[in-house]
């Protein structure tokens, strides 16, 4: 008896991958559909969602303060970037395209960008530091909308070059994570719809990805990087348990992408590196963890989430999704 017990404990503790990550649900106190998230450190989390709602927790998700931005009650904030307890930037869909900034913890919001062009739809933002950020919007007349800021979102300038995409190729606004801005000013973003490609400022033309594509609901949703490793998730959100072409990882730099041996278990809207090898991805049909840099994925819950983010400073990992669902990953 004792010997059996001992061997079971031994095998659970020492087999790689046997360490069980789990989701701890948090009480949010809102019904908003959350797609934007910015985890500043172990304690400070900002989220954004439907109904003009922004949420903030300063105690690692135990309690939340909810703000509805006046005039934005019928709008959705698909992405948020926060810098500290006082300062955050949100993007609002659809027309007019608006970017708002608060410097007083969400009490007041200033419109820092507005564009009334027909067809404007801001999808995602990414900042490399407290000053420099980029925002991507859906193509208008097949030209991608891009703008950058050098002053923490106070001013935005349209990107100087025209990047063309295919008819019906666009960007998902499912988790605010389909663009990566780099310290040298270059960027990479991933598309969906009629084509699923990676569009890099350093490359002459977009690179096709071995992801499911061709329908309005298919393609790449999210890109994440860790040193020289990159991973992209997506799939078909209209068929969210399908695992066909829902993930690719870099085999040899940004040019060559391969499908994992065991893909995530359905459509996934967001991916994040926790360490160089441990990764997490989430979507409406569940959450998966990889322990080997994205080659094999294990389903840890069928509970749906739209977005997962690791603290910019620290190890905390939070998830959020529909119906105001918020959780923390125990890892």
Paired residues of 235 in beta bridges: 219
Least Cα distance to 277 among 264, 265, 294 occurs for 294
Buried b (16+ CB within 10 A) or exposed e, 58-73: bebbeebebbebeebe
162/186 with CB nearer ligand NAG = 162
Ranges within 276-295 binding ligand NAG (CB under 6 A) = none
Nearer to ligand NAG, 142 or 292 (CB): 142
What's the closest the beta carbon of residue 170 comes to ligand NAG, in angstroms? Answer: 17
Please tell me the count of residues contacting ligand NAG according to CB under 6 A: 3
**Which of residues 142 and 154 has its CB atom nearest to ligand NAG in the complex?**
142
Q: Minimum CB separation from ligand NAG for residue 143, in Å?
A: 6
Query: Of 128 and 140, which CB lies nearer to ligand NAG in the complex structure?
Result: 140
Measured from the CB of residue 79, what is the shortest distance to ligand NAG in angstroms?
A: 25
Distance in Å, CB of 163 to ligand NAG, minimum: 9
With vertex at residue 272, the alpha carbon angle to CA 120 and CA 313, rounded to the nearest 5 degrees, is 100
Residue located via tokens 């970017």: 99
C-beta of 140: minimal distance to ligand NAG in Å? Answer: 8
The answer to the question of residue 143 lying near ligand NAG (CB under 6 A) is yes
32: left (phi over 0), alpha (psi -120 to 50) or beta: beta
- Output the smallest distance, CB 196 to ligand NAG, in A: 24
Smaller CB separation from ligand NAG, 3 or 161: 161
Q: Please list the residues that pair with 272 across neighbouring strands.
A: 280
Say if strands 297-301 and 286-290 run parallel, antiparallel, or are unpaired. Answer: antiparallel
Among 162, 202, 256, 275, contact with ligand NAG (rule: CB under 6 A): 162
Nearest position to ligand NAG, beta carbon:
162
- Ramachandran class of 298: left when φ > 0, alpha when ψ lies in -120 to 50, beta otherwise: beta
In terms of CB distance, is 117 or 275 closer to ligand NAG?
A: 117
Which CB contacts under 8 angstroms, 24+ apart, belong to 254-261?
254/188, 254/198, 254/200, 254/203, 254/207, 254/230, 255/207, 257/198, 257/207, 257/209, 257/210, 257/232, 258/210, 259/210, 260/290, 260/294, 260/295, 260/296, 260/297, 261/295, 261/296
DSSP letter at 33 equals: -
- Nearer of residues 20 and 143 to ligand NAG, judged by Cβ: 143
Q: Least CB distance from residue 14 to ligand NAG, whole Å?
A: 59
Task: Rule CB under 6 A: say whether 9 interacts with ligand NAG.
Answer: no
The answer to whether residue 117 forms part of the interface with ligand NAG (CB under 6 A) is no
Answer whether 124's CB lies under 8 Å from 136's CB.
yes
Query: What does the alpha-carbon distance between residue 284 and residue 268 come to, in Å, rounded to a whole number?
Result: 7
State the nearest-atom distance from the C-beta of 171 to ligand NAG, in Å. Answer: 18
Residue (52 or 206) nearer to ligand NAG, CB = 206
Assess 114 for contact with ligand NAG (CB under 6 A).
Answer: no
- Residues at the site binding ligand NAG, with contacts judged by CB under 6 A: 143, 161-162
């Amino acid at each position: 008896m004792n010997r059996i017990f001992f061997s079971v404990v031994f095998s659970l503790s020492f087999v790689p991958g046997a360490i069980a990550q789990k989701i701890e649900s948090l009480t949010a106190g809102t019904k908003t559909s959350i797609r934007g998230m910015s985890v500043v450190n172990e304690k400070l989390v900002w989220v954004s969602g439907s109904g003009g709602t922004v949420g903030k927790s300063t105690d690692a998700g135990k309690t939340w303060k909810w703000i509805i931005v006046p005039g934005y009650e019928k709008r959705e904030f698909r992405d948020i970037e926060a810098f500290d307890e006082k300062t955050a930037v949100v993007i609002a869909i659809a027309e007019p395209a608006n970017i708002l900034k608060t410097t007083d913890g969400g009490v007041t919001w200033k419109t820092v960008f507005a564009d009334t062009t027909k067809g404007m739809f801001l999808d995602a933002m990414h900042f490399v530091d407290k000053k420099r950020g980029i925002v991507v919007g859906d193509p208008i007349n097949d030209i991608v909308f891009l703008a950058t800021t050098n002053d923490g979102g106070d001013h935005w300038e349209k990107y100087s070059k025209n990047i063309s995409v295919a008819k019906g190729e666009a960007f998902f606004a499912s988790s605010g994570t389909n663009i990566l801005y780099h310290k040298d000013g270059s960027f990479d973003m991933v598309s969906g719809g009629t084509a699923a490609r990676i569009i890099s400022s350093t490359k002459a033309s977009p690179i096709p990805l071995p992801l499911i594509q061709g329908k309005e609901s298919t393609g790449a949703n999210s890109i994440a990087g860790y040193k020289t490793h990159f991973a992209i998730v997506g799939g078909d959100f209209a068929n969210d348990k399908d695992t066909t072409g829902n993930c690719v990882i870099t085999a040899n730099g940004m040019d060559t992408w391969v499908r994992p041996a065991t893909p995530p278990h359905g459509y996934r809207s967001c991916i994040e590196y926790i360490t160089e090898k441990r990764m997490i991805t989430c979507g409406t049909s569940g959450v998966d963890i990889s322990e080997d840099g994205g080659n094999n994925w294990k389903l840890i819950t069928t509970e749906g989430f739209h977005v997962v983010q690791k603290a910019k400073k620290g190890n905390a990992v939070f998830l959020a999704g529909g119906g105001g669902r918020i959780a923390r990953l125990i890892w």
